[in-house]
Amino acid sequence: MKLHLMTLPQLTCRLLGGLLLLGLISPLSAEVRHNEREYRVEILIFAQEPGEGASERPGAPYQPAHPANEALSLGATPFWHSLSQRTHPQVRSLPTQLNRQARALERSDDYRLLFHEAFQMHLVGRDRTVPLLIEGGERVDGHPELLGQLHLSVARFLHLETDLHLNHFEHRATQLTQPHANSAEDITSLLSEITASSPMQQRRRMRSSELHFIDSPQLGLLILIERAE
């Protein structure tokens, strides 16, 4: 009697075929796993004036929670560092390509560029992705104008989840009395506080190599994701 020995690829195919028949794995699983790989990502975030008829108004000041231990940072994130008292690893930065779009935003009176970063990272399924910490814009007393987190993941399509907040500051002058040996001197001090925040909390399904635009009344985002070479 002859024994037919199967090669490893043949054995793997037979095993996968059996699992498919039993309904234990999805026929899309192989495609999903294949999409988990290195990607080049470029993101521009900008402030904008709400369009005519926009009814959404800034809400209460954003109160950020401590970021997850496994979070990564996009660029410099000193506020997140001070909040969590730990340094989060930065993703690998790359030269930017959407420079024409960035210059157009900077020249416009209707928009104000807050953040522009290109980076490379390994994208995985939503259940294994980690938050990306982000901050940008002006800084007032150590608080960034733009603050929040992003989640990037991949399945059949690329997915982006935004939890971004545009902080609004109020500056007010107060009189402080500085005592001296023989007299007291009034000193004017400028205090700044966050009075409101405008959120962008959205989910978007995307295709690679396409420039996607996401907006809320006071924030806009351009994102381009491509497979890394």
Per-residue CA distances from 102 to 59, 156, 170, 184, 193 (Å): 28, 30, 27, 51, 29
Break the chain into its structural domains and give their ranges. 30-49+70-168+197-227
**What is the model's pTM?**
0.78
Q: Note the pLDDT tens digit of each residue in 177-212.
A: 556 555 555 554 445 789 999 999 999 999 999 999
Give per-residue pLDDT as tens, 96-132: 999 999 999 999 999 999 999 999 999 999 999 999 9
One-letter amino acid at 208 equals S
- Judged on CB neighbours under 10 Å (0-12, 13-18, 19+), 4 is exposed
Neighbours of 142 (CB within 10 A): 8
Q: Report the alpha-carbon distance of residue 139 to residue 144 in Å, rounded.
A: 4
Beta strand 211-215 with 38-48 is unpaired
117 in Cβ contact with 95 (< 8 Å): no
